[in-house]
Structure 1
């Protein structure tokens, strides 16, 4: 831990700065699945930073691709008719990988911007089609859709919306794994007033909940029946995290739009975007919809695009999507070995290289700060995991080995033991 006797000027996201300001965990370098603090101690990165280091840390191929691009054309806008070779190449490549007909790619600088882009585009699409009354956006309880304005309004984590007012009055949340609840909500509102339904394939920041069998297929069918745009939020699930390029292929889904970020560059540079299917793109690309007056300053940034292309090369060359398939079982089994621990209430996983250990209800009732205390106890034993509500989440780089997965569960067990003592 780095101690700052005079405090810090850095305001940390999702942090109580009254606690953080005097003591911080300072990461100074990283390599493979390992990170190092400012005292030289090594930790296994059990979270791939914030879900994104899919290809692992210190990949020279990605670093060199970005550096080479900066020497040629570091940055330039793609507004209006401007473009650059790397942005064009990346859009073409992503469109070819996407499970969407005649896909178009709208690039942003992160997942939050991607969500706001998709939400605005969903509403504008209906307005251009002569149905401006279709403004309601539906989402799942416990869903996380970023912290931009519209994403906060759409999201299903109540604590993330508290205090900000009505950022999106026409946002409605339904029970997270109940397709009938979606159908009932559509019927109550009237399908003619609903623009889109947003869904994460696996609920991430809301506690890491894989979907119930058949749920995603059922809600996609409901959307199709009622002519509602289906938007898959694959910011966490994409680029190998659940074993496919965009996550949704695992369930045979073909959404109208897919939001992505994180693993598209393995976090080496900030990038997000929206895969837009032909149906939604059509009025804007065939001359009847006019300009989509929306976009990020750094959309199509050539250096970021070069890093993404190099990252996609790594994912393909090393078959890391298949690696996620191979390791999801061993990770789940390893975490399930903790199921009998007195501090553990539930273990979730088995869908991609993701897992969560829910703390026992009596422990949480006795100690509201049990989750962050447990996270620090595990970190003291050399493994970084993520506190998520009432659980500890695991999402390591796709390059992790089975023996390194064992180190994660060893540290979890020892940390929980120490916390109980």
Structure 2
């Protein structure tokens, strides 16, 4: 693509470098994507962590077309509603590890983080504790790029240069419950609204939790009366082998944020699932309005896509498939640790993982990760560059044979950039 051919500003991209070499994805089917020359690539990242059911599923297109011919769009503000949004809320409430769940629908993951943060702060204000506004999160965490998500981000590069968008935020060590306890003691539990945690850290480097970590931080939050928010934008809908990643660790969050896999990315959708106790000030007694909401909350066509997607996950046993394939995927990535460019493989908790590149090589060649990503793609496999690592999160429909293709493509790309 020539420099004059694009005016599209790509997220997280250096457009001076990208504008004349954009990679055009023309079509996709199953675990494969195709460029405009017809060459195929194994989609090792399910696009951006989300195409859980694979590409090109006609059932989603049919469900969307049928809904659009009946009621394409309408809002759910005030007392308006629609049947697909109601059915989706009921279904999610039944699936989630949340007591007496209520479901607030958004347009995506970053919207959901904003919603959860505002809801947590308003909850405490309603309980006569308006000073409880502080938000805790983990180092290396990613919570989207809206105001709250940027402010609580544990990836420092995603915060740099923007100034203080939301005040009253603190990050703690991603792997040490005692650091959370120390922060609570330092700040004061009576000033803290909520603690946000991804079950598996995604964009911050693909970092599974240490055994017992999530259970320990949830216990600390409950003991201190702090709302525990599970950011399930990546980890939900089969990615960790359950409907929600929290279920893998027997967690009972006060709030769950979700997006991505709820529609497998076929249409944009996210939301927050709130425990009944958190929702109570807005739902019981005289109630009160939650003066917040995206235009497309409860969009009927998007809800129809989500319902069809959940049907496919259930009918095809993709939760179990994810659990069955997480071992073979981790084994495939671990086999690459013998390569001179690789220092570590991470994974084994869900159908996702990463290979960490050798620190000495990166010190001498800071551009190695991006060059390796391009070389691996040239070898027919799409990975995701994350800091010093290359991550994968393939569709849940991938086969063991295709996992082998993924492994071999990564090795070939690393060979190309290191001369191995």
TM-score by length of 2: 0.99
2: CA distance, partners of 1:262 / 1:5: 31
Contact map agreement 2:375 2:414 (CA 8 A) in 1 = yes
What residue in structure 2 maps to residue 392 of structure 1? 390
1: CA distance, partners of 2:242 / 2:78: 33
SS in 2 for 1:358: strand
Alignment of 1:76-95 (within 5 A): 76-95=74-93
2: CA distance, partners of 1:417 / 1:408: 14
What residue in structure 2 maps to residue 66 of structure 1? 64
SS in 1 for 2:336: coil
1: CA distance, partners of 2:374 / 2:287: 52
Contact map agreement 2:138 2:197 (CA 8 A) in 1 = yes
1: CA distance, partners of 2:394 / 2:295: 31
Alignment of 1:22-37 (within 5 A): 22-37=20-35
What residue in structure 2 maps to residue 75 of structure 1? 73
Taking only aligned residues, the RMSD between alpha carbons, in angstroms, comes to 0.7
Cα offsets for 1:52-109 (capped at 9, x unmatched)? 0000000011110001000000000000100000000000010010111110000000
2: CA distance, partners of 1:413 / 1:22: 27
SS in 2 for 1:156: coil
Contact map agreement 2:3 2:19 (CA 8 A) in 1 = no
Cα offsets for 1:176-229 (capped at 9, x unmatched)? 010000000001111001100000000000000000000000000000000000
2: CA distance, partners of 1:178 / 1:61: 44
2: CA distance, partners of 1:143 / 1:185: 17
Match of 2:371 among 373, 378, 382: 373
2: CA distance, partners of 1:289 / 1:310: 33
1:289: Cα distance to partner? 4.6
Contact map agreement 2:239 2:352 (CA 8 A) in 1 = yes
Unpaired runs of 5+ residues, structure 1, are none
What residue in structure 1 maps to residue 55 of structure 2? 57
SS in 2 for 1:255: coil
Contact map agreement 1:128 1:289 (CA 8 A) in 2 = no
What residue in structure 1 maps to residue 123 of structure 2? 125
What residue in structure 1 maps to residue 6 of structure 2? 8
1: CA distance, partners of 2:378 / 2:336: 18
The reply to whether residue 314 of structure 1 matches residue 285 of structure 2 is: no
What residue in structure 2 maps to residue 342 of structure 1? 340
Cα offsets for 1:306-327 (capped at 9, x unmatched)? 0000000000000000000000
Moved over 4 A (4+): none
Contact map agreement 1:113 1:148 (CA 8 A) in 2 = yes
SS in 2 for 1:23: coil
1:5: Cα distance to partner? 3.9
1: CA distance, partners of 2:328 / 2:343: 20
What residue in structure 2 maps to residue 235 of structure 1? 233
Match of 1:139 among 137, 140, 149: 137
1:7: Cα distance to partner? 4.5
What residue in structure 2 maps to residue 326 of structure 1? 324
The reply to whether residue 97 of structure 1 matches residue 74 of structure 2 is: no
Contact map agreement 1:235 1:259 (CA 8 A) in 2 = yes
Unpaired runs of 5+ residues, structure 2, are none
What residue in structure 2 maps to residue 296 of structure 1? 294
The reply to whether residue 210 of structure 1 matches residue 239 of structure 2 is: no
What residue in structure 2 maps to residue 40 of structure 1? 38
Contact map agreement 1:265 1:311 (CA 8 A) in 2 = yes
TM-score by length of 1: 0.99
The reply to whether residue 276 of structure 1 matches residue 278 of structure 2 is: no
Match of 1:264 among 259, 262, 287: 262
